[in-house]
C-alpha cells in the first residue's frame, strides 16, 4: 500500500510538471490566440475587442506566476478555456465530443492487441516449432514493422474500395445521429473495424515477441520443471505458473504502450477521418487553437500517467516480491 501511494505521489509530481510545460509553451510562442482570431475575422471585429478576447482566453498582462495560479484553478474546475477554432464553444465540450471515439478506438485496439498478442506469444513458446511459432509470429512481426498509416491505407484500399466490405471514413454513416440504439451501435461498430484492425495489426507483433521470449526464459526455470515432475495438468503449468511470471515484462510495457497507441491512433484517425482526439488535435494545430491543444495534451498526459499507475498496481499484485521492496 505504501509503495502504491509513493508511486501515486511520483505521478502527481509528473502531472504538475506537465501542467507547467503545457502552460508555458503557448505563452512563449510569438503571438497569441486573440490576435489569430482577430486576423481570421478580417476586420469584422472592432480593435478594442482584442483585449476582451485576450481576457476571455486567459492571456493577460499579469505576471506568469499569477497566470499559472489562475490556469491551475481553472484546470481543477474542469475549465480549459474557450476554443478559438470552435468559438464560442468551450474546450471541455469540444473534447467531450471526441474522447468517447478515441477511447473506443484506441482502448479497444490496445485491449485486443495486448490480450491476443500475449496469449499467442505464450502458445508460440509452449508449442515451440509449431504453426503459431513458425508462421503467425513472423507474419505479425513483419506487419508491425510498417507504420500505422500505411496499414490503414492498405486496409482502406483492400476492404473499402476493392471489396467494399466496410465503410472507409468517419465514425458513423451520414444522416445518423449518435445514440444508444442498436442500429447506430451496429453502424458505429462497422466503421470501427478498419481503423481498429490497422492498430491491432501494427502492435500485436511486439506483444507476441516479448511474451514468447519471456516464456522461453520462464520455461527453463526449476519451478516449472518441478511442477511438471509433480504431474500437474499441463494447462495449470501453462497458465498458473509459466504465463503469470512471463506476463510481468508485458505488463510493464503496457503503460508505455498507451502513449504510442494514442500517437498511432492519431495517424489512423486522419486516414479514416475518425472524429477522435487525434483528428481533433490536427485541426487544433492547423488553426493554432492553443487552448484546445492544451486541453488535448492534458488529457493525453493524464491517460498515460494513470495507465502507468494502474500497471504498477497490477505489477504489485502479480509479483508479491515487489510489495516489500523499498521504493
Average pLDDT, the chain: 77
Q: Tens digits of per-residue pLDDT, 194-245? A: 888 888 888 888 888 888 888 888 887 887 787 778 777 888 788 777 887 7
Convert the pLDDT of each residue in 247-287 to its tens digit: 777 777 776 677 666 665 777 888 888 888 777 888 887 77
Mean pLDDT (whole number) for 45-60: 59
116, 120, 121, 203, 221 from 133: Cα distances, Å: 14, 9, 8, 17, 21
C-alpha 95 chain-centroid distance: 15
Residues 6+ apart with CB under 8 A from 246: 122, 125, 211, 214, 215, 217, 218
Residue 82 pairs in a beta bridge with 90
**What CATH fold (topology level) applies to the domain 98-288+308-322?**
MetI-like fold (1.10.3720)
Grid cell listed for 324: 516489500
Query: At residue 327, does pLDDT exceed 50?
Result: no
Q: Please return the burial class of 283, using the count of CB atoms within 10 Å of its CB with bins 0-12, 13-18 and 19+.
A: middle
**Residue 88 backbone dihedrals phi, psi, to 5 degrees:** -100, 25
- pLDDT number for residue 286: 77
**Terminal Cα-to-Cα distance of the chain (whole angstroms):** 11
In whole angstroms, what is the distance from residue 266 CA to residue 284 CA? 13
* Residue 51: per-residue pLDDT: 61
Is 159's pLDDT higher than 70? yes
Residue of 67 and 143 predicted with greater confidence: 143
Distance CA(33)–CA(55), nearest Å, equals 11
H-helix or E-strand spanning residue 156: none
What pLDDT, on the 0 to 100 scale, is given for residue 152?
84
Please, are residues 98 and 277 in contact by the beta-carbon 8 Å criterion?
yes
What is the length of the chain?
Answer: 327
Q: Over the stretch 61-85, which tens digit does the pLDDT of each residue have?
A: 667 777 778 778 877 777 777 777 7
Q: Tens digit of pLDDT for each residue in 165-184?
A: 888 878 888 777 877 788 88
Higher-confidence position of 317 and 264: 317
pLDDT band at 326 (very low <50, low <70, confident <90, very high): very low
The C-alpha atoms of residue 263 and residue 180 are separated, in whole angstroms, by 28
Mean pLDDT across 133-153:
83
pLDDT surpassing 80 at residue 4: no
Q: Which tens digits make up the pLDDT trace of 289-311?
A: 777 888 888 888 887 787 777 77
* Secondary structure of residue 120 in the 3-state scheme: helix
**pLDDT for position 162:** 84
Domains in the chain: boundaries: 98-288+308-322
Per residue in 99-139, pLDDT tens? 888 888 888 888 898 889 889 988 888 888 888 888 888 88
* 93 pLDDT higher than 50: yes
**pTM assigned to the model:** 0.74
Alpha-carbon span 130 to 25, nearest angstrom: 53
Amino acid at each position: 500500500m505504501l509503495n502504491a501511494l509513493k508511486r501515486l505521489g511520483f505521478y502527481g509530481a509528473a502531472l504538475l510538471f506537465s501542467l507547467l510545460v503545457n502552460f508555458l509553451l503557448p505563452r512563449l510562442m510569438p503571438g497569441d490566440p486573440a490576435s489569430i482570431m482577430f486576423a481570421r475575422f478580417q476586420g469584422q471585429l472592432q480593435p478594442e475587442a482584442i483585449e476582451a478576447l485576450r481576457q476571455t482566453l486567459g492571456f493577460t498582462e499579469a505576471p506568469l506566476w499569477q497566470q499559472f495560479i489562475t490556469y491551475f484553478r481553472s484546470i481543477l474546475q474542469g475549465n480549459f478555456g474557450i476554443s478559438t477554432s470552435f468559438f464560442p464553444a468551450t474546450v471541455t465540450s469540444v473534447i467531450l465530443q471526441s474522447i468517447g471515439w478515441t477511447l473506443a478506438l484506441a482502448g479497444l485496439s490496445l485491449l485486443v492487441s495486448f490480450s491476443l498478442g500475449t496469449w499467442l506469444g505464450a502458445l508460440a513458446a509452449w508449442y515451440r516449432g509449431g504453426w503459431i511459432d513458425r508462421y503467425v509470429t513472423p507474419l505479425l512481426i513483419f506487419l508491425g514493422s510498417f507504420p500505422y498509416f500505411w496499414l490503414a491505407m492498405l486496409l482502406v484500399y483492400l476492404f473499402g474500395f476493392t471489396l467494399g466490405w466496410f465503410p472507409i471514413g468517419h465514425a458513423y454513416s451520414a444522416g445518423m445521429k449518435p445514440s444508444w440504439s442498436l442500429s447506430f451501435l451496429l453502424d458505429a461498430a462497422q466503421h470501427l473495424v478498419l481503423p481498429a484492425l490497422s492498430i491491432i495489426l501494427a502492435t500485436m507483433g511486439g506483444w507476441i515477441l516479448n511474451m514468447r521470449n519471456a516464456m522461453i526464459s520462464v520455461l527453463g526455470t526449476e519451478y516449472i520443471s518441478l511442477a511438471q515432475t509433480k504431474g500437474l495438468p499441463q494447462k495449470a503449468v501453462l497458465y498458473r505458473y509459466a504465463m503469470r511470471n512471463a506476463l510481468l515484462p508485458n505488463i510493464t510495457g503496457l503503460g508505455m504502450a498507451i502513449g504510442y497507441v494514442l500517437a498511432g491512433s492519431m495517424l489512423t484517425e486522419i486516414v479514416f477521418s475518425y472524429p477522435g482526439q487525434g483528428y481533433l488535435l490536427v485541426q487544433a494545430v492547423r488553426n493554432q487553437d492553443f487552448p484546445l491543444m492544451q486541453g488535448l495534451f492534458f488529457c493525453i498526459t493524464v491517460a498515460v500517467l494513470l495507465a502507468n499507475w494502474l500497471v504498477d498496481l497490477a505489477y504489485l499484485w502479480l509479483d508479491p516480491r515487489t510489495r516489500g521492496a523499498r521504493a
